[in-house]
C-alpha cells in the first residue's frame, strides 16, 4: 500500500470554496480540516496552485 503525502494549505473561506469547486473536477483534497485548512496531495500542489491563481485572476476586477 502506497502512502499519500499531503501538504497543508491555509486559506480564507472564499479561496477554500474555490478549492472545493476545483476538487469536484479532479480529486486532490485528502482532508478538509476546518474553515481555513485543507490537506492536498503533495504531488498535485503545483497544479492546484496554478489553477487557483487562474481562478483568482478571473475574479479580480478594476474600477479603471
Phi, psi of 7 (to 5 degrees): -125, 130
Q: Rounded to two decimals, what is the model's pTM?
A: 0.82
Ordered by start, the domain boundaries in the chain are 6-58
Instruction: Quote the pLDDT of residue 2.
Output: 75
Find, among 8, 48, 54, the residue nearest to 28 by Cα: 48
Q: Rounded to 5 degrees, what angle do the CA atoms 40, 44, 48 make? A: 85
- Domain 6-58 listed as CATH 3.50.50.60: no
Find, among 25, 31, 28, 24, the residue nearest to 47 by Cα: 28
Could you report the per-residue pLDDT of 3-60, keeping only the tens digit for each?
789 999 999 988 999 999 999 999 999 999 999 999 999 999 999 999 999 988 887 6
Instruction: Quote the pLDDT of residue 58.
Output: 84
Upper half-sphere CA count for residue 35 (Cβ side, 13 Å): 3
Amino acid at each position: 500500500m502506497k502512502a499519500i503525502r499531503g501538504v497543508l494549505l491555509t486559506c480564507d473561506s472564499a479561496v477554500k470554496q474555490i478549492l472545493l469547486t476545483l476538487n469536484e473536477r479532479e480529486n486532490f483534497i485528502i482532508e478538509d480540516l476546518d474553515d481555513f485548512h485543507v490537506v492536498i496531495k503533495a504531488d498535485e500542489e503545483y497544479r492546484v496552485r496554478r489553477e487557483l491563481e487562474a481562478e483568482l485572476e478571473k475574479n479580480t476586477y478594476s474600477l479603471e
